[in-house]
Amino acid sequence: DAMVIQNPRYQVTQFGKPVTLSCSQTLNHNVMYWYQQKSSQAPKLLFHYYDKDFNNEADTPDNFQSRRPNTSFCFLDIRSPGLGDAAMYLCATSRRQGNTEAFFGQGTRLTVV
Amino acid sequence: GENVEQHPSTLSVQEGDSAVIKCTYSDSASNYFPWYKQELGKRPQLIIDIRSNVGEKKDQRIAVTLNKTAKHFSLHITETQPEDSAVYFCAAGDSSYKLIFGSGTRLLVRP
């Protein structure tokens, strides 16, 4: 009955090799988020979609891109992963923007070798 | 921008004791304060939230208090049980999209 599903759970990629993480939701929520969480740190918002409108955080590196082809799916593309990009990547959804519960996926742990 | 500070980073309590985790925020426009629990290897899940129009909210053994003047809010867990062991994150948000998270508290409940 998972509502926000992330694939894969674990991803190993080579330094500089493009990688894509995926997220799908069965909640039909308007908003989808991507967070980066490094060890012992708070989740950091990279960007979010409100429907098809893409919103990038000012400090999100250009190396990170996202696609949302439809309501249910959202992808995180890392064009040239560096060692510093190794982290847990969390996808979340919410029914509307602000003031409301965010539903998280289980995350994808990315390792860069 | 908003900044959320969370303390302590680790907390160890005896089963049955209470646990308190505190957060402060900087943006007076913040009006939504959720708490998430993340068990090892699992997704963060909302356990309780409070909005700025109330000062306290309770749900069984869990309560959250909010002091808007001082810009801090706290999570209180009473009669702790081993299954309460997890990482707890506070967050602050406003009517825009953004939730800013605290750095987390690792709670260990010793049997």
Q: Which pair of tokens denotes residue B32?
A: 């939504």
pLDDT at A101: 87
Q: Once rounded to an integer, what is the mean pLDDT over residues A48-65?
A: 93
CB contacts, 8 Å: B93 with chain A:
98-99
Q: Which residues of B touch A (CB under 8 A)?
A: 4, 6, 9, 31-32, 34, 36, 41-46, 49, 51, 89, 93-104
Q: Determine the Cα–Cα distance for residues A32 and B64; give it in Å rounded to an integer.
A: 27
How confident is the model at residue A8, as a pLDDT? Answer: 94
Residues from A contacting B (CB-CB < 8 Å) are 4, 31, 33, 40-45, 48, 50, 55, 90, 97-107
Tell me what the mean pLDDT of segment A36-47 comes to: 89
Residue A1: pLDDT band (50, 70, 90) is: low
- For the record, the structure tokens of A80 come out as 């040239």
Over chain B, what is the mean pLDDT? 93
pLDDT tens for A74-86 read 999 999 999 999 9
The per-residue DSSP string of chain B comes to ---EEEE-SEEEEETTS-EEEEEEE--TT--EEEEEEE-TTS--EEEEEEETT-SEEEETTEEEEEETTTTEEEEEE-S--GGG-EEEEEEEE-SSS-EEEP--EEEEEE-
> pLDDT confidence of B99, banded at 50, 70, 90?
confident
CA distance B43 to chain A (A): 4
Q: In this model, does residue A97 exceed pLDDT 80? A: no
